[in-house]
Chains A and B, each alone.
Chain A
Amino acid sequence: MTSISEDSDKEKVRSVSVDLNNDASLVIDIPDALCERDKVKFTVHTKTTLSSFQKPEFSVPRQHEEFIWLHDTIVETEEYAGLIIPPAPPKPDFEGPREKMHKLGEGESSMTKEEYAKMKQELEAEYLAVFKKTVQVHEVFLQRFSSHPIFRKDRNFQIFLEYDQDLSVRRKNAKEMFGGFFKNMVKSADEVLISGVKEVDEFFEQEKTFLLDYSSKIKDATAKAEKMTRSHKNVADDYNHISGALNSTAADNNTAFKKTISVCVLQKLEDRVASDQELKLTELLRYYTRDIQAAKDLLYRRARALADNENSNKALDKARLKGKDIAQAEENQKQCLQKFDKLSESGKKELTSFKARRVVAFRKNLIEMTELEIKHAKVRRLKSNNTLYGSKLSIFLLCQKSLGY
């Protein structure tokens, strides 16, 4: 069982999105979470001045499935077809560290006590990092809703925040899962529809082109970033093994080895930090891959509405020709047009603000990542200098000169 508590570090972790807790009338965070075997229990804490809530401050426990329920419910709400629905948080995945922990347990006999303890410590840190990340992602999900003028008023959202009993979200049975799969299949056919439909609005035409292209590129960048970060971690782990092997030597009188140990510890830290920075970038890319998908979903809903609109026009013409069911066809056409116009209007607003949000988030993340890289690299450089040349300043200066720095 592991839990985390309010951390000042969490502020730094929130670099994926811009500050979503600006409005004090509804403030949501996840201050605590518990991990029990496979399940993670998040404590959702709300502070509000809105009268629609029963109390000004309250907390409820929620599991990942309940977040998904909220997401699906919102997606299925017809009213929100013209909005970008915040992407659902991914399922907490502890598979990586868990597997490593398993392997470590198996190899326990082949390594010394110190090495085992160190590796265990490393793994626990990794586990904690995954844990923190999943909390953050679930938190941001909720904050997207709370900071959106329309979503924050949604009844289901309020239930999610307030209802202190279990939401009894039963697992999707086979029929529903199959239904969902079918829906996705139809959706991909509809993606052909998006490209095929004749677009009258220049704005949406541009958006379509941009989003389709960007989506594939960002997906690719995310995958490559993940691979790179993993490699960097492997390098850090190797330094760990090296320093572990050196630590286990009984020959403590060998100062050369001792130097190497400190070097390896240093280097391991370097690589670990570097992979952490890359992880930030990867997280950003991953998040926006999902967000782009949500924007694409909006486009496809609008394209659907456009197609429906055109079909209703054709149906009306046919009805007028045949002379029957005209009133019904007229009503239908009016509704379709209304729906389409509403979608277009809100869609344009949403997509425009999405652009701005994306640029700001990238900027923030890239600056943070770079500043941290520089700070850590300078610290490491100073430490390396000290290790190499001893603490005597005179020697340090001599070496600066000889190396030309």
Chain B
Amino acid sequence: MSGGCGRNPPPFPDNEDQEAELDTQVLDSDDDDDEGEDIFTGARLEEEESGDQFELNIAVTNPEKIGDGMNAYMSYKVSTQTTLPMFLNKTFSVRRRFSDFLGLYEKISAKHSLLGCIIPPPPQKSVVGMTKVKVGKEDSSSAEFVEKRRAALERYLQRVVAHPSLLQDPDVREFLERDELPRAVNTQALSGPGLLKMINRASDAVNKMTIKMNESDNWFESKLQEVENEEQLLRRLHAAVDSLVNHRKELCSNTVVFSKSVAMLGSVEENSALSRALSQLAEVEDKMEQLHQQQAFSDFFILAELLADYVRLLGAVRCCFEQRMKVWQRLQEAQSTLQKKREAEAKLLWANKPEKLQQAKDDINEWESKVSQYERDFERVTCTVRKEMLRFEKEKARDFKQHIVKYLESLLHTQHRLVKCWEAFLPEAKAIA
């Protein structure tokens, strides 16, 4: 499943002139006789801006189990295809294991999060899933787990390289190019619950802040609120889609069972035409089951995983906002320290202690420069966060649009096959006499 980093070309040829024509009617969600809704309007503005097309495709493939027993692990092939000059070759691949990806996250996070970048979170660790694989259970659920993880790792890398500053990071390049990577340690903190704890700690820190930030404009406050609301919504959606996936799997197994039962009934039926029709019906139901199975697969990989990814991404966005607040807090503290130093100096002047005055003046200078440093930092972080937010929203809109189109296509495909199945059955039903 190779692909660009969210900048795939639109699914049909010469889309550009058609986009200009499409109307921008707002969709009424209660009316399913909708006319004229289009998917491209939202993205049109974004498409216009993207002049910087660059070529970098990443794929994560070929999972292989290395070793045996509890020390076994899965190794994945990471292939890169690029025209960028900073890489040694145009196509190359390396093998990486899951902890390598976590290690990459740790390195990136340590460097870039302080600057206010939104760092894509890595896929979650799963003790249960991994243990099954290690123990060597060759069943469909462990195969599903491996595929789920492979796809998640691929999406993770694609998001990392979609970020212009992260792409420039030497650690990222090393990850993609270098044959052997030193084993990443201390990745426990980055397992699912660990990461969650980190994010929650950030929220707590913000809540404990005694001095409220005085925003020059409401942009940051309202954005953060938006992000929190959206996270809630996506969580709910994810739960609903999860339930959908499970129910559809249930439907699959019930359909198969029903199909067999109908076949049995057909074999007992004494009227030969009806008997034939019943066994045909059993076959139709069998085909239905396959369709349901495929649809469940789409439901999961297209919708559920997308939603899960974005719940975690929005968490990362919140971290980014909170990072800015930390920088602001540091500035506040420096300013208050500076104030104290000035007061100290004033006291000394008044108390007429010239020998300590020089120290006080030095202190003031030190803190004045710190304050101006922190002011610059804060401005820079503010600017970065704003940019990051805009970029993130662009990517998100594009991502959702792509996935929804894909999902619609899968539904369409299923419906098409469904029609064909039933059309084939109809003459059999009519032939009963």
A234 touches B274 (CB 8 A): no
Choose the segment among A192-200, A213-221, A302-310 that binds chain B (4+ C-beta atoms closer than 8 Å): A213-221
Mask: chain A, 178-218; 1 = CB below 8 Å from B; 0 = not: 00000000000000000000000000000000100110011
Best-surrounded residue of B35, B254, B258, B269 (most CB of chain A within 10 A):
B258
Which of chain B's residues have a CB closer than 8 A to the CB of A257?
400
B257 touches A359 (CB 8 A): no
**Once the chains are docked, how many angstroms separate the CA of A25 from the CA of B37?**
57
Which among B22, B37, B241, B243 is the interface contact of A258 at CB below 8 angstroms?
B37
Best-surrounded residue of A254, A355, A394 (most CB of chain B within 10 A):
A254
The reply to whether the CB of A391 lies closer than 8 angstroms to some CB of chain B is yes
Mask: chain A, 366-405; 1 = CB below 8 Å from B; 0 = not: 1100110110011011011111101110110011001101
Which of chain B's residues have a CB closer than 8 A to the CB of A367?
426, 429-430
Choose the segment among A75-83, A88-96, A239-247 that binds chain B (4+ C-beta atoms closer than 8 Å): A239-247
Mask: chain A, 225-239; 1 = CB below 8 Å from B; 0 = not: 101101110110011
**Once the chains are docked, how many angstroms separate the CA of A395 from the CA of B14?**
10
The reply to whether the CB of B50 lies closer than 8 angstroms to some CB of chain A is no
Of residues 403 to 421 in B, which have CB atoms within 8 Å of A's CB atoms? Answer: 404-405, 407-409, 411-413, 415-416, 418-419
Number of chain B residues close to chain A: CB under 8 A: 74
Which of chain B's residues have a CB closer than 8 A to the CB of A398?
12-13
A262 touches B412 (CB 8 A): no
B247 touches A234 (CB 8 A): yes
Of residues 4 to 50 in B, which have CB atoms within 8 Å of A's CB atoms? Answer: 11-13, 18, 21-22, 26-27, 29-30, 32-42
The reply to whether the CB of A51 lies closer than 8 angstroms to some CB of chain B is no
B415 touches A380 (CB 8 A): yes
Choose the segment among A59-67, A137-145, A263-271 that binds chain B (4+ C-beta atoms closer than 8 Å): A263-271
Mask: chain B, 40-73; 1 = CB below 8 Å from A; 0 = not: 1110000000000000000000000000000000
Which among A235, A259, A370 is the interface contact of B422 at CB below 8 angstroms?
A370
> How many whole Å from B395's CB to the nearest CB in chain A?
12
Of residues 299 to 334 in A, which have CB atoms within 8 Å of B's CB atoms? Answer: none
Which of chain B's residues have a CB closer than 8 A to the CB of A249?
229, 233
Which of chain B's residues have a CB closer than 8 A to the CB of A366?
277, 281, 429, 432
Which of chain A's residues have a CB closer than 8 A to the CB of B39?
255-256, 259, 388, 390
A386 touches B34 (CB 8 A): yes
> How many whole Å from B102's CB to the nearest CB in chain A?
30
Mask: chain B, 241-261; 1 = CB below 8 Å from A; 0 = not: 101100110110011011001
> How many whole Å from A45's CB to the nearest CB in chain B?
33
The reply to whether the CB of B397 lies closer than 8 angstroms to some CB of chain A is yes
Looking at chain B's contact residues, the main secondary structure is helix
Which of chain A's residues have a CB closer than 8 A to the CB of B269?
214
Chain A, residue nearest B411 (CB): A384
> How many whole Å from A252's CB to the nearest CB in chain B?
8
A256 touches B32 (CB 8 A): no
Number of chain A residues close to chain B: CB under 8 A: 73
A263 touches B407 (CB 8 A): yes
Tell me whether A386 and B35 are in contact in the complex, defined as CB-CB below 8 angstroms, given that A235-B244, A403-B409 are known contacts: yes
B250 touches A231 (CB 8 A): yes
A384 touches B244 (CB 8 A): no
Tell me whether A381 and B416 are in contact in the complex, defined as CB-CB below 8 angstroms, given that A224-B258, A367-B426, A392-B22 are known contacts: yes
Which of chain B's residues have a CB closer than 8 A to the CB of A387?
34, 37, 408
B274 touches A221 (CB 8 A): no
B268 touches A402 (CB 8 A): no
Tell me whether A370 and B425 are in contact in the complex, defined as CB-CB below 8 angstroms, given that A262-B27, A359-B432 are known contacts: yes
Tell me whether A390 and B13 are in contact in the complex, defined as CB-CB below 8 angstroms, given that A263-B411, A363-B274, A366-B429 are known contacts: no
A259 touches B37 (CB 8 A): yes
Best-surrounded residue of B36, B39, B251, B425 (most CB of chain A within 10 A):
B251
The reply to whether the CB of B385 lies closer than 8 angstroms to some CB of chain A is no
> How many whole Å from B8's CB to the nearest CB in chain A?
14
Of residues 79 to 124 in A, which have CB atoms within 8 Å of B's CB atoms? Answer: none
Task: Tally inter-chain residue pairs, CB-CB below 8 A.
Answer: 202
B429 touches A399 (CB 8 A): no
**Once the chains are docked, how many angstroms separate the CA of A234 from the CA of B257?**
17
> How many whole Å from A365's CB to the nearest CB in chain B?
9
**Once the chains are docked, how many angstroms separate the CA of A232 from the CA of B433?**
31
> How many whole Å from A215's CB to the nearest CB in chain B?
10
The reply to whether the CB of A260 lies closer than 8 angstroms to some CB of chain B is yes
The reply to whether the CB of A261 lies closer than 8 angstroms to some CB of chain B is yes
The reply to whether the CB of A287 lies closer than 8 angstroms to some CB of chain B is no
Which among B35, B237, B273, B408 is the interface contact of A242 at CB below 8 angstroms?
B237
> How many whole Å from A267's CB to the nearest CB in chain B?
6
**Once the chains are docked, how many angstroms separate the CA of A261 from the CA of B26?**
13
A269 touches B243 (CB 8 A): no
**Once the chains are docked, how many angstroms separate the CA of A378 from the CA of B419?**
7
A362 touches B274 (CB 8 A): yes
> How many whole Å from B281's CB to the nearest CB in chain A?
7
B251 touches A258 (CB 8 A): no
> How many whole Å from A389's CB to the nearest CB in chain B?
8
Which among B30, B230, B432 is the interface contact of A362 at CB below 8 angstroms?
B432
B240 touches A255 (CB 8 A): no
The reply to whether the CB of A251 lies closer than 8 angstroms to some CB of chain B is yes
A270 touches B426 (CB 8 A): no
Which of chain A's residues have a CB closer than 8 A to the CB of B226?
251
The reply to whether the CB of B287 lies closer than 8 angstroms to some CB of chain A is no
Tell me whether A225 and B247 are in contact in the complex, defined as CB-CB below 8 angstroms, given that A251-B226, A366-B277, A385-B412 are known contacts: no
Which of chain B's residues have a CB closer than 8 A to the CB of A214?
265, 268-269
Chain B, residue nearest A212 (CB): B268
**Once the chains are docked, how many angstroms separate the CA of A403 from the CA of B11?**
10
The reply to whether the CB of A250 lies closer than 8 angstroms to some CB of chain B is yes
**Once the chains are docked, how many angstroms separate the CA of A386 from the CA of B38?**
9
Tell me whether A374 and B423 are in contact in the complex, defined as CB-CB below 8 angstroms, given that A255-B42, A258-B37, A384-B411 are known contacts: yes
Chain B, residue nearest A258 (CB): B27
Which of chain A's residues have a CB closer than 8 A to the CB of B416?
381, 405
**Once the chains are docked, how many angstroms separate the CA of A286 from the CA of B196?**
52
**Once the chains are docked, how many angstroms separate the CA of A189 from the CA of B257?**
32
Best-surrounded residue of A228, A243, A267, A359 (most CB of chain B within 10 A):
A228
**Once the chains are docked, how many angstroms separate the CA of A177 from the CA of B364?**
100
B409 touches A245 (CB 8 A): no
**Once the chains are docked, how many angstroms separate the CA of A224 from the CA of B205?**
55
A220 touches B36 (CB 8 A): no
The reply to whether the CB of B340 lies closer than 8 angstroms to some CB of chain A is no
The reply to whether the CB of B270 lies closer than 8 angstroms to some CB of chain A is yes
The reply to whether the CB of B262 lies closer than 8 angstroms to some CB of chain A is yes
> How many whole Å from B239's CB to the nearest CB in chain A?
9
Which among B230, B254, B411, B429 is the interface contact of A370 at CB below 8 angstroms?
B429
The reply to whether the CB of B271 lies closer than 8 angstroms to some CB of chain A is yes
**Once the chains are docked, how many angstroms separate the CA of A377 from the CA of B411?**
11
Which among A265, A363, A388, A395 is the interface contact of B29 at CB below 8 angstroms?
A265
Tell me whether A224 and B257 are in contact in the complex, defined as CB-CB below 8 angstroms, given that A366-B281, A370-B429 are known contacts: yes
B262 touches A210 (CB 8 A): no
**Once the chains are docked, how many angstroms separate the CA of A308 from the CA of B203?**
87
A-B contact pairs, 8 of them (CB 8 A): A220-B264, A225-B261, A263-B408, A374-B423, A381-B416, A388-B39, A388-B408, A395-B18
List 15 additional A-B contacts (Cβ < 8 Å) besides A246-B237, A384-B408.
A210-B270, A214-B268, A221-B258, A231-B247, A238-B240, A251-B229, A256-B404, A259-B27, A266-B32, A362-B432, A373-B418, A384-B415, A386-B35, A390-B22, A402-B11
